[in-house]
Amino acid sequence: MKISLAITLGQHSIAGVKPQNEDFHGVCVPKGAVLDSKGIAIVLADGVSASEGGKEASQIAVHQFLDDYFSTPDSWTVKHAATKVLGALNLWLYNQGQREYAGSNGLATTFCAVIFKSQTAYLFHVGDSRIYRLRDGRLECLTKDHRIQFGTEREYLARALGIDARLDVDHRTQTLQEGDCYLLTTDGIHDVLDRESLESLLLASPHDPQQCAEKLVATALERGSQDNITCQIACIDSLPEANKDEFYGNLTRLPFPPDLKAGNVLDGYLILRELNATSRSQVYLAEDTLDTGVGKVVIKTPSVNFNDDPLYIDLFLHEEWVAKRLNSSHLIKLVEQASRPRTFLYSVVEYIEGKTLRQWMLDNPNPSVAQVRATIDQISRGLRTMHRLEMIHQDLKPDNVLIDHNNTLKIIDFGSTRIAGLAETQTVLQHNHIVGTASYSAPEYFRGQSGTTRSDIFSLGVVAYEMFTGRLPFGEIEPEKAAKKRFVYTSARLYNPEVPEWVDAALEKATQSSPEKRYELLSEFVADLTKPNSSLVGDGQSRPLLERNPVAFWRGVALLELLAIVGLVWLLAH
């Protein structure tokens, strides 16, 4: 039986001695796939007393955060999703407060949240509410109050949602253990109950968080709290643990299909012919006989050579999972099969009638700058869609780009794609090997580092260089020797003098060995292939003549050789 993330929750809130309760709290405990991809979120906010709309601000903050966080793409990391939501929420509160309350910080609130995902707790905090953790009988405060003290008695909030257009959120992560208890409090509790008192009260009711939450609130009131009083307690009952046999069993639930031939039918797909076969997979052209509106499709089946290899199966399933979440005219589309029962393991994508970029390059060995630029621009559009979803392709090369009869380019093969959101979830399968093609892979992979969006930009730069020259900027790279290789750029003009100097400068920047020296954005690379970037080429005089004008360089060399020969003949004659 699968073990899922589970918590026991207790929460309680009262106005205390104040006429209204400006605190607010909330929780979302999803089920199924959302629990795995997004986790459990508990949120607490304390409307700033000095603001006119503190109560409204705290309620909006809690409701809107929970709604928006769980609506973000599954591929976003917890940190990225939460900070994006908080940034937008803060700006809305700030602008609304400026309009409705004449700039008096009318919609301001503290905010703290804990998101439990897999075996990690993600903490987000702004203001003077607090997050504690009770572990092994010891209570520890995990946040720092954002307060500024004036004199000996007066304190003011330094940070909160809605008080400024810019937001600085504290974020940290904690590894979870079963039995951990996380406590969220507003200042109505921790201003009158110190750490030792809170710890004692928590330990007094270890198995009943709700009773404990009510006791904490009542005790704070008894101790003379002058503010609203709110707390939440979440105790970790179980953590997801991948049972090895069960995990592998789920991956191999569907058997590998046998080798297919024209005329075979696979779950309603009529096999027309084999398109490609390698030691790792087979690819077939097929026609959907159950849904005539679909027409021709491409089916990829795993090789029976790997039917007992869990890493191979994981990568095969991973490719389909990625394709399902992508939507771009420059990325191959997955054919949905939700209503069709599958009896074998395979994936189905749209059929593109055309050729690979590799074949196009063979057919067009001397493309113009405009043709290369148009190609790179289309590929970059597909990559941008992936990058916005925090996906890195990691295996971009001419063989993985298709061109249809309308000259529309589509990136294919997502088996090597790295997804930041999935990187947070630990599984027994670790993809620590280099998954892309070495000659197109960025140098950081060979140094054991993780790829970034700039790694894809490097690969795109290599593709552009190869289109212009028919060569690779760093030659063929053997993976086992790549770690020691020096990546020294050779000017594209050496092999193709027709390449403008400013284009060569853009290629050089895109393929820098250091990621920090490359383009940060794909759009910057495309822009520098469109018009000269003066910051890259300058007046061009600092670059060697061999790079600036290879033809003139070799003419000069030939002339010097000719003069040397003439001089030598003259000396011998005299």
pLDDT tens by residue, 342-368: 889 999 999 999 999 999 999 999 999
- pLDDT for res 272: 98
Residue 539 in this model has a pLDDT that exceeds 80: no
Q: Are residues 340 and 360 in the same domain?
A: no
Chain centre distance of CA 328: 17
Kind plus residue range of the DSSP H or E element containing 540: none
Which amino acid, one-letter code, is at 347?
S
CATH of the domain at 429: 1.10.510.10
Mean pLDDT for all residues in the chain = 89
Q: How confident is the model at residue 428 (pLDDT cuts 50, 70, 90)?
A: very low
Same domain, 124 and 84: yes
User: Is 444 found in the same domain as 370?
Assistant: yes
Residue 32 within a domain: yes
* Same domain? 216 vs 262: no
- Residue at 75 is within a domain: yes
pLDDT-wise least confident of 229-233, 399-403, 447-451: 447-451
Residue 174 lies in a domain: yes
- The reported pLDDT for the residue numbered 552 is 56
Which letter, b or e, does each residue of 219-233 get, where b requires 16 or more Cβ atoms within 10 Å of its Cβ?
bbbeeebebbbbbbb
pLDDT score, position 482: 77
- For the residues 92-110, what does the mean pLDDT come to? 82
Least confident of 40-49, 335-344, 521-530: 335-344
Give the mean model confidence (pLDDT) for residues 422-427. 54
Looking at the structure, tell me whether residues 53 and 184 fall in a common domain: yes
Last residue of a domain, one of 315, 350, 385: 350
> Residues near 63 by Cβ (< 8 Å), separated by ≥ 6?
26
Task: Taking residues 413-419, report their average pLDDT.
Answer: 89
Count Cβ atoms within 10 A of the Cβ of residue 25 and give its class: 0-12 exposed, 13-18 middle, 19 or more buried.
Answer: buried
Q: Residue 202 maps to which CATH number?
A: 3.60.40.10
DSSP assignments along 404-468, one per residue: ETT--EEE---TT-EEHHHHTS--S----S--S-GGGS-HHHHTTPPP-HHHHHHHHHHHHHHHH
Q: List all residues 6 or more positions away from 31 whose beta carbon is below 8 Å from its beta carbon.
A: none
pLDDT band at 62 (very low <50, low <70, confident <90, very high): very high
Domain of 62 in residue numbering reads as 6-241
The mean-pLDDT minimum among 175-189, 466-480, 551-565 falls in 551-565
Tell me, what's the pLDDT at 315?
82
Domains identified in the chain, total number? 3
Q: How many residues comprise the chain?
A: 574
pLDDT at 139 over 80: yes
Assess whether 161 and 276 both reside in one domain: no
The answer to whether the CB of 121 falls within 8 A of the CB of 172 is: no
**The pLDDT of residue 338:** 63
User: Strands 296-302 and 354-356: what pairing?
Assistant: unpaired
- The pLDDT value recorded for residue 246 is 35
Span of 16-25, 435-444, 539-548 with lowest mean pLDDT: 539-548
- Do 419 and 504 have their domain in common? yes
Q: Where are the beta strands (DSSP E) in 61-163?
A: 109-117, 120-126, 130-135, 138-141, 147-150, 154-157
Domain-ending residue, one of 300, 328, 350: 350
Give pLDDT, residue 558. 72
Question: Distance from CA of residue 194 to its chain's centroid?
Answer: 40
Element at 230 (helix H, strand E): strand 229-238
Look up residue 429 and give its two tokens: 């399968």
| Alpha helices in 289-433, H assignment, sequence order | 310-324, 357-363, 369-388, 420-423
For the segment 412-428, the average pLDDT, to the nearest whole number, is 72
pLDDT band with cut points at 50, 70 and 90 for residue 543 = low
Separation CA 456–CA 245 (nearest Å)? 36
Give the pLDDT band (50/70/90) at residue 433.
low
554 domain-assigned: no
pLDDT band, very low/low/confident/very high, at 116 (cuts 50, 70, 90): very high
Identify which of 80-94, 230-244, 436-450, 535-549 has the greatest average pLDDT: 80-94
- What's the first-to-final CA gap in the chain, in angstroms? 100
Predicted confidence (pLDDT) at residue 435 exceeds the cutoff of 80: no
Instruction: List CB contacts of 521: < 8 A, sequence separation 6 or more.
Output: none
**CATH number, domain at 288?**
3.30.200.20
**How much is the pLDDT for 149?**
79
C-alpha triplet 477, 523, 547: angle, nearest 5°: 50
Q: Directed axis angle between helix 78-100 and helix 54-69, to 10°?
A: 150
Strand pairing category for 130-135 and 181-185: antiparallel
- Alpha-carbon gap, residue 113 to 146, rounded angstroms: 15
Q: Which of 125, 129, 133 minimizes the C-alpha distance to 171?
A: 125
> pLDDT digits over 69-100, tens only?
999 988 788 999 999 999 999 999 999 988 88
DSSP H or E stretch at residue 275: strand 269-277
DSSP 464-494: HHHHHHSS-TT----GGGGGG-------GGG
Confidence of residue 569 (pLDDT cuts 50, 70, 90): confident
pLDDT of amino acid 156 = 83
pLDDT value at position 395?
95
Percent of the chain whose pLDDT exceeds 90: 68
Domain boundary among 350, 375, 392: 350
Band of pLDDT at residue 537, cut at 50, 70 and 90: confident
- The residue among 344 and 317 whose pLDDT is bigger is 344
- Domain membership flag for residue 256: yes
Would residue 560 count as lying in a domain?
no
Same domain, 404 and 256: no
> Taking a C-beta distance cutoff of 8 angstroms, is the pair 369, 290 a contact?
no
Give the Cα separation of 346 and 247 in Å (integer): 19
Residues 320, 287: Cα–Cα separation, whole Å: 19
Indicate whether 370 and 307 sit together in one domain.
no
- Over 90: is that where the pLDDT of 425 sits? no
**Claim to verify: residue 102 and residue 227 sit in the same structural domain:** yes
pLDDT at 252: 60
Asked if 267 and 342 touch (Cβ cutoff 8 Å), the reply is yes
Chain segment 458-488, per-residue pLDDT in tens: 999 999 999 999 999 999 988 778 778 889 9
Q: Are residues 380 and 342 in the same domain?
A: no
Does residue 551 fall inside a structural domain?
no
Do 364 and 300 reside in the same domain of the chain?
A: no
The answer to whether residue 151 sits within a structural domain is: yes
Residue 242 clears pLDDT 50, i.e. is over it: no
For residue 545, pLDDT over 80 is answered with no
The pLDDT value given to residue 123: 98
pLDDT of 547 reads: 53
* Proportion of the chain above pLDDT 70, given as a percent: 90
Which region among 285-299, 460-474, 517-531 has the lowest average model confidence (pLDDT)?
Answer: 285-299
Q: What is the pLDDT of residue 153?
A: 64
pLDDT surpasses 50 at 247: no
Q: What is the per-residue pLDDT for 104?
A: 59
**pLDDT tens for residues 145-180?**
999 877 666 778 899 999 999 999 999 999 999 999
Residue 560's pLDDT band, with cuts at 50, 70 and 90, is confident
The predicted pLDDT at position 330 comes to 98
Task: Determine the pLDDT at residue 565.
Answer: 83
Mean pLDDT computed over 291-320:
87
Distances (CA, A) of 183 to 77, 228, 231, 339, 532: 24, 17, 7, 44, 57
pLDDT at 321: 82
